[in-house]
Chain A
Amino acid sequence: MVIEQFGWLIPVFPLVAFLLIVGVTYRFKLLSAIVATFFAGLSLALSVLIMVQKVINPVTTEKFINWLSISTPTQTLLNIQLGYLMDPLAAVMSFIVTLVATLVLLYSIGYMKGDEGFSRYFAYISLFTFSMLGLVISNNYFQTFFFWELVGLCSYLLIGFWFFKPEAADASKKAFITNRWADFGFLVGIIGLFTVFGTFNFGQLATQIPQYQNALILLGLGLLVFLGPVGKSAQFPFHVWLPDAMEGPTPISALIHAATMVAAGIYLVARGYALFYSVENVMQVIAYVGGFTALFAATIALVQKDIKRILAFSTLSQLGYMMMALGVGSMTSGMFHLTTHAFFKALLFLGAGSIIHAVHNQDIFKMGGLAKKMPISSWTFVIGSLALCGIFPLAGFWSKDEILTVTLQHHFVGLFVLGTLVAFLTAFYMFRLIFIALFGQKRSDHHAHESPWTMTLPLIILAVFSIFAGLVNTPWFYQWTGFSFSTLVYFHEPEIPVIHWSIAGLSTVAALLGIFTAWMIYARRLISADMLATKMSFLHRVLSNKYYIDELYAWLFKYVMLGLGKVLDFVDHVVIDGLFDGTAGAIRATGVRLRLFQTGRLQQYALLIFVAVAILVLWGVR
């Protein structure tokens, strides 16, 4: 119980690290890295303690101070709390964030060695971790929004870390602007929530929303608030920033894709579940947006050549899965997949970083034969891929099975079929990547070598988590320990985990089929990939260009936005300025005439005064 009182320290440690690096250790590169890693480790230790506490006694702890309160005697006009909310959901999330952040920091010591901005990098990551953890433990929408924006800012800083590269600078701006669009809706949504319910607090909203009758307003608010997660979690149509975010250093991608940033969107949907759950239509929108994104991104990933882009689209697809799970009505399975995904996606990105570090190239067709030269990086990468594909008994198997099961249980048959198809596609593109990049012949003249221990140790730790993390939501684990993921993180009622072997079998078969197809095409070369590409050249072109969404946005910007801008410019310069300039001109012209009255002749003034007084008096007498 005592430890819980200090839970608010979890985000404070990285903040201290940030301040220390900026203020004190900026010149001493290695010291900066050690400070950042040490404080992240402290946060990790604290969140492990709190998570253990929450497993033993899953109660909600909430503490807050009124940060800004404006009220009249009869009503509260504005009440913003600065608070700390710790329940199993927040505990699990802070564990994921601190674990991945610590490992990424450790890994970065090796990866970023010799970089100009070494200290700056570690300062940014500490700030990023602080923002995300602040978001995780916040108890109200306003504070969430505050940290939400901080997370956005940090992602901007880190994506554009190598700001001297024009692509990186563009990508960071793209990420920021895309999120800005989405956050606008989110902000309007939370202001609307406050206007209707008079509070930002999650707990109070959760009790008030089910009693609220006006479904139309709830629908509007739900959709507006959902816009935020659509942007942060890069769901269609705000997904465009995530693949471009690859311009940042690779460990940052691991952090963004696994623990911070994109996870924030999913976490917010889970945190504000009461709002979304109250309107069926919003839930359907969430489910179908998620399902569509899952399929959409998976198809693009099939033809990409850049190792990080493949992983980026894979993240999009998996985030779609989580959204779908949340949308069909199971918060548990969405969060569970977020958890397992955090481990294996962090593993995959760090593995990719290790490979890129060795090969100095991101094109998978320039790699090949890495398994022999970099055994640890390669085989942990394979473990991560197997987990992502959902192969028994790795982590992804349990969470993916769970999602497909709830989809079917809530009668979303279309989404179930789609989910299974995505499982097939996922397995295909991941093993396409593996067969091309890790096995076979050397495809270019590279001198790959294994990375230093600071880089391989995080890989091994994450690989262990990728293998075993899924077990926490299995019936056996429940029988053995008396708790499981689904009895801790839930909405309304805790559930006891069950496995539906038929569904699990189906998705595993789909995944194996995907691996087999990839093996046929890329390892045994029984089917020529080039031939397929030429046969379906239209499809190939569309997929390679990511469905031309970027081009569409560019077109929309060029013609619609700029056109609108020109119209508004006309309105501003001609109509509005005309109005004001005209008023001013009229007044000036009047003044020019009126000034003739001022002759400077005293006697005229006196005459005027007398006449005026006479008129007034006569008028009064009448």
Chain B
Amino acid sequence: MIGLTHYLIVAAALFCIGAYGVVVKKNAIAVMMGLEFMLNAININLVAFNHFLHPNLVLGQVFAMFIVGIAAAEVALGLAIILSLYRQRHSIAVDEMDILKW
């Protein structure tokens, strides 16, 4: 029987993979992909909690839909930033973007 715990473990694993990708990947697009992993891990959590704790409500699903929507917007924005970065510096390596210090 697959219970809440299993879902949570999958979500946690997904989240950690995403976080790892965000922290270590050089390629900005890979970093964005890591972010997507993290967001979707949360979506799994939300839906799982909703299903197992309050089956009669759709609160978790609604939140998940919101996050999907926001993630889409975020990706659009992020890709636009990356594109303009590439035009400026001919590189999308995250570790080269360190001019934001004094």
Contact = CB atoms under 8 A, between A and B. Distances in A.
A201 to B, nearest CB: 63
Interface of A is mostly: helix
A364 to B, nearest CB: 81
A598 B102 contact: yes
A610 to B, nearest CB: 6
A599 interface: yes
B102 A607 contact: no
A602 B94 contact: yes
A610 B23 contact: yes
A606 B24 CA distance: 10
Interface string A598-610: 1111110011001
Counting contact residues on chain B (CB < 8 A from A), the size range is 10 to 19
B22 A603 contact: yes
Contact of B99 (A595, A600, A603, A607): A600
A595 B31 contact: no
A606 B94 CA distance: 12
A603 B102 contact: no
Contacts of B94: 601-603
Counting contact residues on chain A (CB < 8 A from B), the size range is 10 to 19
B98 A601 contact: yes
Contacts of A598: 101-102
Contacts of B99: 600
Interface string A565-608: 00000000000000000000000000000010011111100110
A595 B102 CA distance: 9
B2 interface: no
A599 B102 CA distance: 9
Contacts of A595: 102
A125 B76 CA distance: 85
Contacts of A603: 22-24, 31, 94-95
Nearest to A607: B23
A606 B100 contact: no
A599 B101 contact: yes
A602 B101 CA distance: 11
Interface of B: 19, 22-24, 31, 94-95, 97-102
15 contacts: A599-B98, A599-B101, A600-B98, A600-B99, A600-B100, A600-B101, A601-B97, A602-B94, A603-B22, A603-B23, A603-B94, A606-B22, A606-B23, A610-B19, A610-B23
Given A600-B100, A601-B94, A602-B94, 10 more contacts: A595-B102, A599-B98, A599-B101, A600-B101, A601-B97, A603-B23, A603-B94, A606-B19, A606-B23, A607-B23
